[in-house]
């Protein structure tokens, strides 16, 4: 599990590269303004992984929906597909 890292906007302004590197190395960093979260900074790899998981979830939901309503006539044989 990822640890929760908290940094203030002041910390981010003072050393943005360090905070960015923290996010890339150890997981998301919550940015606080007056002790309230205003954003989350994460590494690019983690962000892209999150997007892939979201897309996979959407695809799985769509497949499940189509399986419920599909009729035999909706399918195309392998031979017809590649001829």
Task: State pLDDT tens for residues 16-68.
Answer: 999 999 999 999 999 999 999 999 999 999 999 999 999 999 999 999 998 88
Query: Of 49 and 81, which is predicted with more confidence?
Result: 49
| Domains in the chain, CATH or no CATH each | 5-70 (3.40.1620.10)
Q: What angle do CA 34, 39, 42 make, to 5 degrees?
A: 130
* Token pair of 26 as six digits: 């150890």
The pLDDT assigned to 3 comes to: 59
pTM: 0.70
The pLDDT assigned to 15 comes to: 97
Pairing of strands 29-33, 5-8: parallel
The pLDDT assigned to 1 comes to: 38
CA atoms within 13 A on the CB side of 19: 19
Which of 48, 46, 52 shows the shortest CA–CA distance to 29? 46
């Amino acid at each position: 599990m990822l640890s929760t890292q908290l940094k203030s906007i002041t910390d981010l302004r003072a050393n943005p590269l360090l905070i960015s590197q923290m996010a890339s190395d150890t997981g998301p960093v919550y940015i606080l303004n007056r002790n309230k979260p205003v954003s989350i900074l994460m590494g690019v790899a983690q962000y892209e992984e999150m997007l892939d998981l979201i897309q996979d979830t959407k695809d799985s939901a769509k497949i499940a929906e189509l399986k419920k309503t599909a009729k035999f006539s909706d399918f195309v044989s392998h031979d017809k597909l590649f001829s």
